[in-house]
Amino acid sequence: MTTTTFIRTVDGRDLPLPGTYAIDPAHSSVAFQVQHLGFSKVRGRFTDFEGTIAVAEEPTVSSVQVTIQSASVDTAQAQRDAHLRSSDFFGVEDHPTLTFSSTTLEDCGDSLQVHGDLTICDITRPVVLDVAFDGAGPDVMGDTSQPRIGFSATTTLNRYDFGITFNPPLEAGGLLISKRVRIELDIQAARQ
């Protein structure tokens, strides 16, 4: 293992230094995209979330915990956002949060995979995030006491697995909204 100021190399892979890092929502994104009408994509995001990344000395025992406020869903279209908050989708009155809790981290050679439990609408299913460590450094003012780290991650899930089955058929055939949802995360976190 070798170490630079903010990054260590373990078995040929650059990783952040051990410690607990708090996700910075102002510099992070929790986004999704879903196919609409069978040929176009609608993108959205959640704007209110928090979480921690616990980077362990032994990387494979690191962990991630995230809580997302479901009412913060934002697709840049007010009527659609109101529908997504309804019982047809997230049912934010009864299910105010979405949560992710990692269970294992796997080194897959070219990438890392974070396995964990995702809970949406009080239904918990296992998911696997394909994760890339994007780097580390001091904060914008050059403060090295609370270094910043960056990760990006993706996964695809079936919304029906979480009981989100609203999907009226189209007159021309097919369904209004794809079952498959692509999740895209860009995370910056500060060491505590």
Q: Tens place of pLDDT for every residue, the chain, 192 residues?
A: 545 588 998 888 889 999 999 999 999 999 999 987 767 799 999 999 999 999 999 998 999 999 999 999 999 999 999 999 999 999 999 999 999 999 999 988 778 999 999 999 999 999 999 999 999 998 877 777 789 999 999 999 999 999 999 887 766 666 678 899 999 999 999 999
CATH number for 8: 2.40.128.110
Interatomic CA distance for residues 127 and 113, integer angstroms: 10
If you search the block for the tokens 């460590």, which residue do you land on? 133
Q: 4 to each of 13, 16, 56, 137, how far by Cα in Å? A: 13, 10, 17, 10
- Residue numbers of the domain that contains 47: 2-191
Domain count, the chain: 1
- Name the pTM for this structure: 0.91
Interatomic CA distance for residues 128 and 105, integer angstroms: 9
Please list the alpha-helical segments (H only) found in 60-192. 78-85
Residue 142 makes CB contacts below 8 A (sequence gap 6+) with none
Interatomic CA distance for residues 4 and 37, integer angstroms: 49
